[in-house]
Structure formats: structure tokens, C-alpha cells
């Protein structure tokens, strides 16, 4: 198959396998999604979902969160790892949202990426899942699968994102990035598939 043909096949198969793509991180509004995505850095979604209920009971919006002592935030989110850095970022970005954005999460890439602890991938998830803006968040798992499926030769997630956006229709991006994550976790993990054994790898390269 040519690269474009592989992309089309992947898109069709993932739509069959995962017609519904609930956001894996539990949240109730754009702010709680932003915080959950921030916490998911170097941490599993499962663990984040265990930690965030206690945090969001305390504060589920920036105005409340900015009043919570950083030490208290750090204590709650410690199981997610990197708690000193993440707690400081949560506290500071909450203040910025209140002071500069009227207490709302901005639906704007540049404004999001200017927040402490928020990189391009986090901003992309929020734009896609909170605001429905076409984005293609690429994490290390999607990067790995895109290379395994020979959709990119990118040496980093930025190049992989650019390559995937060229291959797939814009209207598919928000759903597809979750479909790829779901498939990777269930069928094509780093250790569970050598690029030849799972269903898609077999179909693409046999």
C-alpha cells in the first residue's frame, strides 16, 4: 500500500472499531479538562482520574483554584508525579485565567500555550475536546504508531503532527487522535506488538 492508501485503511478500520470516542480524562468543563490534561504528563489517564475528583471537589474553576494553597494542590496530586511543578503551574495558570481571561479558559492556541505548564499537545487536546476546534494532539503513543505504520519519518512529535494532518481529513482529526490512542492501548502497544502481529499491522504490511 502507498502511504495515502494506508492512511485511508487506518481511518476506515478505526472508525469501525471505535465509532464512539469518549475523552479518557474525566472532566466537567474546559478548566477541569485543562487541569486533567496537564496532570496526565508522564502519568496514566487512570491515575489522573483517581486523583482529580478530590481536587475538583475543592476547586472546579479558576477563581476557586487560585485560592487553594499550592501545598494543598501538591498534596492531592502527588500520585500523578512531578507534583511540585504541576501544582505551581495549576495555581499560577488559575490566577492568569482570572486576571487576563475573565476566569474562562480561552479557545485560542496561543493564549493556552502561554499558560504555565501548558504545551502544544495540552493546548491541542483542550481545543479539540473542549471547543471542537480541529486539532491533532500527538503524544508519544501516537508518534510511535505513526512511525510503526510508516505514516511519518518524523523524529519528533511536531513533525509527526504535521505529517498526519496532511494525510487525514481535517474533520477526522479530533476523533482520530483518540481512536489511535485507544487502538494502541488495546492492540498495538510498544511491547504487545512488534509491528507485524496486531490486526492493523497485519493488514497494512502482510
* CB within 8 Å of 116: residues ≥ 6 apart: 88, 89, 92, 93, 96
Q: What is the pLDDT of residue 102?
A: 98
**CA 134 – CA 177 distance, rounded (Å):** 11
The phi, psi pair for 170, rounded to 5°, reads: -55, -40
Q: What is the pLDDT of residue 194?
A: 86
* CB within 8 Å of 112: residues ≥ 6 apart: 34, 105, 106, 118, 122, 123, 126, 127
CA distance readout (Å), 142 to 145, 183, 191: 5, 10, 15
Residue spans per domain, the chain: 3-22+135-205, 30-131
Q: What is the CATH number of domain 30-131?
A: 1.10.340.30
Q: What is the pLDDT of residue 21?
A: 96
Let me know if the fold of 3-22+135-205 is the same as that of 30-131: no
Q: What is the pLDDT of residue 38?
A: 98
Helices 120-131 and 30-39: crossing angle in degrees, nearest 10, is: 150
Q: Which CATH class is domain 3-22+135-205?
A: mainly alpha
- pLDDT tens per residue, the chain (206 residues)? 899 999 999 999 999 999 999 999 999 999 999 999 999 999 999 999 999 999 999 999 999 999 999 999 999 999 999 999 999 999 999 999 999 999 999 999 999 999 999 999 999 999 999 999 999 999 988 999 999 999 999 899 999 999 999 999 999 999 999 999 999 999 999 888 988 899 999 999 97
Q: What is the pLDDT of residue 154?
A: 85
CA distance readout (Å), 77 to 3, 37, 183: 42, 13, 28
pTM given for the model: 0.94
Q: What is the pLDDT of residue 165?
A: 98
Residues labelled catalytic? 121, 139
Amino acid at each position: 500500500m502507498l502511504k495515502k492508501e494506508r492512511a485511508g485503511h487506518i481511518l476506515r478500520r478505526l472508525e469501525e472499531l471505535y465509532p464512539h470516542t469518549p475523552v479518557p480524562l474525566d472532566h466537567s468543563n474546559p478548566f477541569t479538562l485543562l487541569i486533567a490534561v496537564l496532570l496526565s504528563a508522564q502519568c496514566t489517564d487512570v491515575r489522573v482520574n483517581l486523583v482529580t475528583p478530590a481536587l475538583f471537589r475543592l476547586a472546579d474553576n479558576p477563581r476557586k483554584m487560585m485560592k487553594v494553597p499550592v501545598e494543598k494542590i501538591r498534596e492531592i496530586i502527588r500520585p500523578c508525579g512531578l507534583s511540585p511543578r504541576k501544582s505551581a503551574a495549576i495555581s499560577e495558570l488559575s490566577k492568569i485565567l482570572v486576571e487576563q481571561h475573565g476566569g474562562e479558559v480561552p479557545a485560542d492556541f496561543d493564549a493556552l500555550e502561554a499558560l504555565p505548564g501548558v504545551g502544544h499537545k495540552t493546548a491541542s487536546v483542550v481545543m479539540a475536546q473542549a471547543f471542537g476546534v480541529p486539532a491533532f494532539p500527538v503524544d508519544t503513543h501516537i508518534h510511535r504508531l505513526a512511525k510503526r505504520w510508516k505514516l511519518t519519518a518524523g523524529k519528533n512529535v511536531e513533525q509527526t503532527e504535521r505529517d498526519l494532518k496532511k494525510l487525514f481529513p481535517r474533520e477526522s482529526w479530533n476523533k482520530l487522535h483518540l481512536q489511535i490512542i485507544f487502538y494502541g492501548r488495546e492492540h498495538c502497544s510498544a511491547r504487545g506488538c512488534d509491528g507485524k502481529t496486531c490486526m492493523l499491522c497485519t493488514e497494512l504490511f502482510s
